[in-house]
Structure 1
Amino acid sequence: MKKIIIGENIVKSFRKLNEEHNVLNGVSVEINKGEFVSLMGPSGSGKSTLMFALSGMDVVNSGRVIINGKDLATASENELSDIRRKTMGFVFQQPTMLKNLNILDNIILPSVRDNQKNKTEIVKKAKSIMKRVGITGLEDRDITEVSGGQLQRAGICRALMNNPEIIFGDEPTGSLNSQSSQEMMDLFSEINNNCTAVMLVTHDAKVAARTERILFMRDGEIISECRLPKFEAKDMDDRVEEVMVKMREIGI
């Protein structure tokens, strides 16, 4: 199976009060094409830091991150930008939308910046993705005129505009109610079913239970993992229980 991302012995530290504090302690992990992966662990365990390291959003202190065969340590800033733009999409707990733009313009903004000549095609594609995720009709709304769930869907639309190989989500359901959270996970499952890899950082066992590979972190290390079969709604309670049992076993 094709490996999209390889992380080898990743160390990431931050300086605090003139002392170095490791957030990641020699983490190694591989993400394959079409995988559906979640990262779980207590606050401060290094989940988001690992996601940012693997996506090239943050520079590591030592170790290697290789994306589609390219070692990020040898990549120029332009190459890094191209890799992120062409390979990845990002969805965050609080979507980073511009207040002076409507929903459609926020979705297409990164793509228009990359290719000014094909705005008509970009808008057409954006509207098609909006239909796919269930927010048709919101194109002209301001970001303050839609619900949190709708805004998060718009964030997913923007993440899908360049046909990424992998979608990263940092607590993407964290600010949503249970119904919106379930709908969001349905979307991530659909995206994954179309052979796009998905990696989610989450505290929620119900979210992790929808994925097929769960990496458990503590103190900057991956301490265990759990593999689940392809999701089926009828298995949800059993999947959540399996995740909860694993969490109790390893004390997180």
Structure 2
Amino acid sequence: MKKIISGEHIVKTFGEGAERRRVLDGVTVDINEGEFVAVMGPSGSGKSTLLFALSGTDNVDGGKVVFDGKDLSELGEKELADMRRRQMGFVFQQPTLLRNLNILDNIVLPSMRDNRKNAAQITKKARMLMARTGIAELEKRDITQVSGGQLQRAGICRALMNSPKIIFGDEPTGALNSKSGQEIMDLLTEINADGTAVMLVTHDAQVAARTERIVFMRDGQIVSELKLPRLGGADLDGRVEAVTEKMREIGI
């Protein structure tokens, strides 16, 4: 299977002097095309920092990250921004939507930056994605007029607008109730089944159990992995138990 991202001996430090700390301490990890990966670990283990490093959102202090054959350290800021916008999608715990725009306009805004001449086609795609994610009737609503789960669906629509090769999610269900969180995971599972790679940072074993590979981190290093078969219809409880047992085994 072809690698879409390769991180080799990644080092990331924060702080100065006596406060200087390696948040990523020589991490090596690959993500393949179409893979569904979760990253778990205690607070401060480096989970989100790894996501930001692999997506080129944050520079690394050592090692390298290669995305789709390109070494990110060799790209300028504009090239990195264009790559993230065109080939990656991001879903965060709190969707970063603009208050002065309605839901539809928030979804289309990043794509309009690249191709204003195709505004009608972009809007058509946004409406198709909104219908697919169950928020078609909300396009004229302000972001203060919808629920957290609906906002997250809008964030997923925006992340999918440019048909990215990978979706990065940083605790995408962390601010949602269990029902909304499950619905968001259903959507991400569908997206992955269509061939888009997904990498999620999560503390939730229920979320991690929906993926196919779980990377466990502690103190800036990967300490273990767990591989699971593709999710079937009724095996979630057993998968959750496998995840929690692995967490107990490695002490996180």
TM-score, normalized by the shorter chain, greater than 0.5: yes
1:19 Cα deviation (Å)?
A: 3.2
Matched, 1:223 2:223: yes
- Tell me the residue number matched to 2:144: 144
The structural deviation recorded for 1:16 is 4.6
Residues 21-59 of structure 1 deviation map (CA, whole Å, 9 limit, x = unaligned): 110000000000000000000000000000000000000
Structure 1's unaligned 5+ residue stretches are none
Identity %: 69
Displacement of 1:18 in angstroms is 5.4
The separation in 2 between residues aligned to 1:16 and 1:179, in whole angstroms, is 43
CA deviation map 1:151-188 (0-9, x unaligned)? 00000000000000000000000010010111010000
TM-score norm. by structure 1 comes to 0.98
Return the letter of the residue paired with 1:239: R
What one-letter code is carried by the residue in structure 2 that aligns with 1:193? A
2:250 is aligned with 1:250: yes
Q: Which amino acid aligns with 2:27?
A: V
Asked whether 1:85 is paired with 2:85, we answer yes
Deviation (angstroms), 1:17: 6.2
Unaligned runs of 5+ residues in structure 2 are none
- Take 2:77 and 2:174, find their aligned partners in 1: how far apart are those partners? 31
Q: Give RMSD over aligned pairs.
A: 0.8
In the alignment, the residues of structure 1 paired with residue 144 and residue 74 of structure 2 have an alpha-carbon distance, to the nearest angstrom, of 42
Q: Who is 2:211 aligned against?
A: 211
Tell me by how many angstroms 1:233 deviates. Answer: 3.1
1:11 corresponds to: 11
Partner of 1:188: 188
| Counterpart in the other structure of 1:25 | 25
Matches within 5 A, 1:1-252: 1-16=1-16, 19-252=19-252
What residue identity is the alignment partner of 1:83? M
Describe the SS at the equivalent of 1:233: coil
| Partner Cα distance (1:86, 1:112) in 2 | 12
DSSP-derived class of the 2:216 partner: strand
**What residue identity is the alignment partner of 2:220?**
G
Question: How far did residue 129 of structure 1 move?
Answer: 0.4
Indicate the SS of the match to 2:215. Answer: strand
Per-residue deviation at 1:127? 0.1
Letter paired with 1:163: S
Q: 2:43, 2:233 → 1: CA distance?
A: 29
CA distance in 2, matches of 1:46, 1:233: 33
Give SS of 1:94's match.
coil
Runs of 4+ deviating beyond 2 Å: 16-19
- Paired letter, 2:69: G
Q: TM-score, normalised by structure 2?
A: 0.98
